């Protein structure tokens, strides 16, 4: 299925099933209102689109036994599981991430934004809504809820929340993308893959739903990573909270919440870092003092005047007034 800049999964002629390979592999093409209804029926959901007549999608799916991996290349659409649909069928857990577009989620009574490459967990026995406003490719791994074992106890902290991009999360996303590109190849052992995928889901759910003390440790490490990122990118005048969210692979809202614990906003972190660097440059006697225009450039301001206004707002004096006071001190 080739769409966009990279191919995920093997080509299937005429919408048929690729021969051989990992378990049972099927490929289908959907289009128009009938396609939306057929896709929804396949997953016990309701699918709608802004322009049903123009909508189209292709689906590649591989069943390994307990687990199934699918790659959906879809136009803008909304996928809703109603309470009635959630009560039907067996309970499964879905680990899903997008490759191209940001996706809006409503699960477990809360809204969230999922950025490309950031996985989320959903339960088939709970209502949810997933909406993408742009063409997107979505990779989804499903496994029976019962296969999670003791990891089920962590699900309430995980469902519907974008997962922080920890080393485990990144390696899992990388593995699933690679596996999606190998579906249908005879060298892929379905039994071996099935066991690996179950263990991956268990490990991710446990990590993302760790007890409160561990969560604080993780969030402290994330704040440290963001401060390091700010320090490296201070000269970028476009350094904003959105860039911090992109760096962690989380939502802007999550970044704001990270710093609430320290009673400071993410925007303040950036402003304070800029001012601290400016003061250091203005008072460093080991090197010739740079001009105000050069200081402004190095700390991410568009010009000397903008920098001077921000400096006065922070310290109550202009940079020119600060320098003699520092020299006298």
What is the structure's pLDDT at 15?
40
Q: What architecture is domain 2-209?
A: Sandwich (2.60)
pLDDT at position 2 over 50: no
Per DSSP (E only), the strands in the chain are 2-3, 6-7, 24-31, 46-48, 56-63, 68-74, 77-81, 92-98, 103-107, 110-114, 120-123, 128-132, 136-144
Q: How far is CA 237 from the centre of its chain?
A: 24
What is the structure's pLDDT at 23?
57
From the candidate CATH numbers 1.20.200.10, 3.30.70.100, 1.10.10.60, 1.20.140.10, the one assigned to the domain spanning 211-329? 1.10.10.60
The answer to whether 2-209 and 211-329 have equal CATH topology is no
What is the structure's pLDDT at 324?
59
Which backbone phi and psi does 78 adopt, to 5 degrees?
A: -125, 135
DSSP secondary-structure letter at 234? T
Confidence of residue 12 (pLDDT cuts 50, 70, 90): very low
Residue bearing the bigger pLDDT, 154 or 10: 154
Show Cβ contacts of residue 284 under 8 Å, excluding neighbours closer than 6 positions: none
Q: Is 167 helix (H, G, I), strand (E, B) or coil?
A: helix
What is the structure's pLDDT at 140?
95
Range 197-217 average pLDDT: 81
Range name among 22-36, 125-139, 193-207, 234-248 with the lowest pLDDT average: 22-36
Contact 300, 234 (CB under 8 A): yes
pLDDT at position 226 over 50: yes
pLDDT at position 10 over 70: no
Over residues 120-130, the pLDDT tens digits come to: 999 999 999 99
DSSP secondary-structure letter at 103? E
Over residues 261-305, the pLDDT tens digits come to: 677 889 999 999 999 999 989 887 787 888 999 999 999 999 999
What is the structure's pLDDT at 320?
84
pTM of the model: 0.61
pLDDT at position 179 over 70: yes
What is the structure's pLDDT at 230?
94
Q: Is 119 helix (H, G, I), strand (E, B) or coil?
A: coil
262 burial type by CB count under 10 A (0-12 exposed, 13-18 middle, 19+ buried): exposed
What is the structure's pLDDT at 16?
42
Q: How many Å apart are CA 222 and CA 65, to the nearest integer? A: 37
What is the structure's pLDDT at 19?
38
Range 213-235 average pLDDT: 84
Sorted by where each begins, the domain ranges of the chain are 2-209, 211-329
Residue bearing the bigger pLDDT, 217 or 201: 201
Candidates 52, 77, 60, 55; CA nearest to 15 is 60
Confidence of residue 14 (pLDDT cuts 50, 70, 90): very low
**Residues 249, 302, 295, 269: what is their CA dihedral angle, to the nearest 10 degrees?**
-30
């Amino acid at each position: 299925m080739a769409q966009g800049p990279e191919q995920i999964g093997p080509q299937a002629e005429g919408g048929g099933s690729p021969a051989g390979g990992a378990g049972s592999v099927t490929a289908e093409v959907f289009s128009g209102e009938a396609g939306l209804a057929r896709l929804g029926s396949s997953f016990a959901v309701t699918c709608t689109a802004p322009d049903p007549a123009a909508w189209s999608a292709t689906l590649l799916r591989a069943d390994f036994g307990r687990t199934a991996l699918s790659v959906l290349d879809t136009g803008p659409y909304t996928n809703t599981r109603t309470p009635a649909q959630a009560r039907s069928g067996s309970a499964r857990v879905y680990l899903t991430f997008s490759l191209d577009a940001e996706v809006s989620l409503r699960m477990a009574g809360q809204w969230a934004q999922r950025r490309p490459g950031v996985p989320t967990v959903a339960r088939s026995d709970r209502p949810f809504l997933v909406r993408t406003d742009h063409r997107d490719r979505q990779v989804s791994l499903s496994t029976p809820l019962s296969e999670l074992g003791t990891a089920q106890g962590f699900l309430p902290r995980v469902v519907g929340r974008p997962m922080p991009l920890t080393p485990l999360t990144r390696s899992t996303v990388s593995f699933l993308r690679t596996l999606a590109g190998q579906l249908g190849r005879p060298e892929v052992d379905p039994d071996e893959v099935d066991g690996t995928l179950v263990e991956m889901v268990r490990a991710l759910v446990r990590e993302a739903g760790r007890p409160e003390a561990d969560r604080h440790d993780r969030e402290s490490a994330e704040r440290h990573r963001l401060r390091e990122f700010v320090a490296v990118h201070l000269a970028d005048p476009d350094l904003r909270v959105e860039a911090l969210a992109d760096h962690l692979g989380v939502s802007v809202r999550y970044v704001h919440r990270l710093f609430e614990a320290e009673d400071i906003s993410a925007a303040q972190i950036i402003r304070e870092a800029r001012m601290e660097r400016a003061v250091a440059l203005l008072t460093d006697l080991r090197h010739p003092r740079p001009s105000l225009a050069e200081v402004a450039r190095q700390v991410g301001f568009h010009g000397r005047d903008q920098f001077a206004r921000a400096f006065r707002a922070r310290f109550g004096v202009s940079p020119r007034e600060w320098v003699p006071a520092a020299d006298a001190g």
